Structure 1
């Protein structure tokens, strides 16, 4: 015999004219019980957004104690307005063999039809909830695309100022005195020899606080990556375009007069870049140089910890392209071996190659390269990079050809359509390669100050420390393919 009892639950958020009182709810529930008695649980003044309510928790405790056989409510939303919570509650009811009845909606989980109707109700409630979320999300990204300020706290170095854009009230960023410190961070990190630690130590010794606290490396790293500080010109446009970012603002707005916002895209979609209504402080050349250095930071750390040559991470077997690893011999010589040959004999190897000989060969080629580069650069401006100019021209030509082919697709015959689609696919592959090259070259542009710094290091190479040698190598070289017979260097310049 089942000695468990029925439970009646009622909830009322606040007293108002159009809300049904808990007593009225109980009357409906007693009628459903057809004269039977039920233990009453009630929560007055509590929202249905969650189940953190005193008497409801008491009801759950009694259910888990095996005292309740059926829960009766006036309406489904008296239990919870959260679909997630409601589904969890239904699992609890099922676990403890407790039936659930909603008087006005005629749900009775003791019957198959009642269970089916309850599931249908849950599905439609979830659909409505997701539709509301989608509308909110669409509204958010619509405002993002128009350049409205959609963040919370202003980025360091800025205050928020109310403005009206297209008849909509929003805010824009306005520089404050702290922006001088932001500029200092970018300028210091833009120097090849300066690290996070150098900057944080300088700020500490100078008693410069950030939001009232000492500057931390994590905060510094986030700040240096934020494009909200940059003067958004065509270099910035090309850089983010090559990264696959969705750029909402047209190219003609990237004049350097204003900065930009980078918003995270919807789930599964690319980020969004838009021109912002505030002015940037950091020149694009400096901002891009900092991004390049940031992207190489992990390489420096790994090289310092794991290798004993400043060529580590760059040197590859000239035969198969696998990495070269070092091994110290008893005679004091460090030999370089093909990793693939060492592991599975899958390569004939790089021959007899030593670290000392390869380092000297690469150093000599870097000296020659910088001598030629300085001669060619001459009186050009710091931002000039012939490879970047050529890459941009090639990319523009490819994109133009793709657009022309797309125009021919409308009304084309099957033969022409097949050719156009095939050619577009081929060109799109080229476009992706060219776009990546433009991004790399934009970030890797070497300024006159960097050229002078690198030349200084090369002139005094024997006294330059390990980390600075790695930085010079990384600025100039993308890869070194070597054997005992030949050394091929792939330059970034």
Structure 2
């Protein structure tokens, strides 16, 4: 069985009973996984139709929300729509869930059992599985409910094993299983698991190998490609509509790193190497190279083995030279500003270099070196100059920071209890009493059913608003306390730094947001604490 996951704690919640309201506030839950798409009867539209017909024939059910998880596995409950439904249960918005069958709710026997047998009953939430003829209002499920959950989980595990077995066999047969073909290739129109040369990009790959084999450096090749406006692999895929996510596209420049990865890929020899990673417990993990699935000569090569092997040999030789140099050099000092220093002209992160003559550290913009002339200005600055500017800023701002912190500390010392929270909690208690007395007044004929329904709806809405208001106040107070504690730590660290004149990487991380360097070797430092002053002020 699957490992038990974290779930919502079972706590007491005010939920209107059907006797009081006459109607269950019902949530329809729909789920479809990638495996379900191949089966008839499990489409989202079919699930919705079955549920709507059932609700139409049930006068005590009122549909208030439809939650849909599309392309989500049922083996765990970490699904956006499901989690939103649980949050709405906690808020008292719904008190009934209806699904097409138990497998739509989940295919994890332990977790499904927890929700159906403990969590939902504790919250007073009714559960209906239409095709399984299960209704928690009229049946406790007996022995059949856990058996059906176990069968649903077994089915999911069996399907998963079969899919993995099929994929593994395809890898052993040398069939390509990627979402889109490697740069230089395209999927064969007659067989999506077979690669053929791409007439647009195959010549680019061959030219890159030829340049490197002929003696050009990686940086020279990158600059040449950028000058020719050659699309990078990610931008080429974007132009063909294969990728759209910004994280998968990049900045559009060829770099040394992208060339190293391309030139080391055996796919250009006509070999297929797959199974480099595996998903274990929901996380993708690298597989040792001796366990990769390698099949030779599965498609047309773009380069000869002699050229490929020659380039790999040169790369290994350069790597060995760099390692030997590194052993002789004094170790680099810690880089406090990693990822924080950028060129103001092009926005690129500046790289830290050491000048071997005197051990001075510099930050330089490498856009011109990487992408060619005109890509940016010649921008550089000494690390010590940045440290000097930062220490001056800290001296100037230290008194302000300390004074503001003392003011905040005094404010929190003088307020022992939030009066707004006390008043809101008092209103919640009173509103609960009123709601409880309404039903008694209805039974005693003090109010009419129409008056009861209207008043009950009004006070229930008020209770929901008060509960949300109390939660917001508590959350704001907690966040404020945490921010003040963080600010105290930051203020103490700044004071110590000024006394010792020694920065730490942790302080820089909390203190500095961004450092912009200009062509004239000046730096503009943006501090994080200024925003924190606004948040806690």
TM-score after normalising by structure 2: 0.39
* Greater Rg by CA: 1
TM-score for both structures, normalised by structure 1: 0.42
